[in-house]
Amino acid sequence: MKTFPKSDILKHLPKQFFASLVSKVEQVKTQGHDVINLGQGNPDQPTPEHIVKRLQEAASNPINHKYSPFRGYSYLKEAVAAFYKREYGVTLDSETEVAVLFGGKAGLVEISQCLLNPGDTVLVPDPGYPDYMSGVALAQAVTHNMPLLAENHFLPKYDSIPQKIADSAKLMFLNYPNNPTGACADVSFFDETVQFAEKHNICVVHDFAYGAIGFDNKKPVSFLQAEGAKNTGIEIYTLSKTYNMAGWRVGFAVGNASVIEAINLIQDHLYVSLFGAVQEAAAAALLESQECVHELTAMYEERRNAFIKSLQDIGWDVQAPKGSFFAWLKVPDGYSSIEFSDLLLERAYVAVAPGIGFGEYGEGYVRVGLLTSESRLTEAANRIKKLNIF
């Protein structure tokens, strides 16, 4: 059969690092081993029942069998505005400051194509979510990595960015609560971010995917809570984590009206909005009882506490994450992150994600997802103990 060559842009997309991890895990499973897979980021709980019921009811309405409005139904954008007012005290214009997304990932990839030209500079956290790089590659832009170091609480240090780079940068990605480190940011950090962005005319894109998941009675802070934040950027939120709606592919971007218009414009050419029943269910998730969110966060905190204690009990010097559903664990001396991950998979049948997959400064760590039961997490710790590494 004739083979047609891929475009140059596709050829220059970054490799999907975690595809190889999935392949390794499947190979061990086919050998008959019970693998505890902590390397994924896929929520393990079902979508709350009241949200599913709303979808079921809405799916039978013939109006939802037609094309939805290109930029989404007004009721969903109004629900987003009400959600932000209730949760963060942030006022949004539902028509000009809210864009409906096909999941947060779509927005995070699209934004580079919306605002960047070939050769433009983007500031990217390292370690960070790999798909930021996908959008940058599609826009044919270039990156400058911002190291996230433990001694800086995994926050970037803006004064370490060379003046020339800061002046040339057009876009900056941030993500708190952070994937993969589990770190959180406060309003003072976002105030500093706004000042830096204003000075250098940079658009900030804050990935707020784990916005609902904060521990120790500390609610994660929205970037838009910082004074002047709407003037300097946007925030991207997904319902995937907050409401266990990963497969539903629904999220939104909020903030600077010119950036929201750019997102809407590119999506006008890519999609005809989301299935109306999904939009109705999403509005219900945002507006109705949030008890399911509180219960979910409490469950992740219980898992975190049990798992971290189990690891500390076996002698592994690890720190508890402050948010997200990930733990960022220091690799013991003498191993690279890939070597240690392979060791855990091949000898303990525990799958974790090597830190190098998230960037150069992820080396020396592995990422663990708290996305299985407490008993499975403690069993993973017991299996690691038997390796006599610590």
Q: Could you give the CA distance from residue 367 to residue 364 in angstroms, rounded to a whole number?
A: 10
Q: Which amino acid is at 107?
A: G
Q: Could you give the CA distance from residue 138 to residue 14 in angstroms, rounded to a whole number?
A: 10
Closest CA to 368 of 319, 335, 334: 319
Q: What is the pLDDT of residue 267?
A: 95
The fourth-level CATH superfamily of domain 8-46+292-385 is Aspartate Aminotransferase, domain 1 (3.90.1150.10)
- Report CA 135 to chain centroid distance, whole Å: 14
Q: Does the domain spanning 49-287 belong to CATH 3.90.550.10?
A: no
* High-pLDDT (> 70) share of the chain, %: 100
Annotate 250-281 with DSSP letters as a single string.
-EEEEE-HHHHHHHHHHHHHH-----HHHHHH
Q: What is the mean pLDDT of the chain?
A: 95
Other CB atoms closer than 10 Å to residue 184's CB: what's the count?
25
Crossing angle, helix 257-270 and helix 104-115, to 10 degrees?
100
pLDDT digits (tens, 9 = 90+) for 297-328: 999 999 999 999 999 999 999 999 999 999 99
pLDDT digits (tens, 9 = 90+) for 321-335: 999 999 999 999 999
Q: What is the pLDDT of residue 193?
A: 98
The domains of the chain are located at 8-46+292-385, 49-287
Q: Examine domains 8-46+292-385 and 49-287 and report if their fold is the same.
A: no
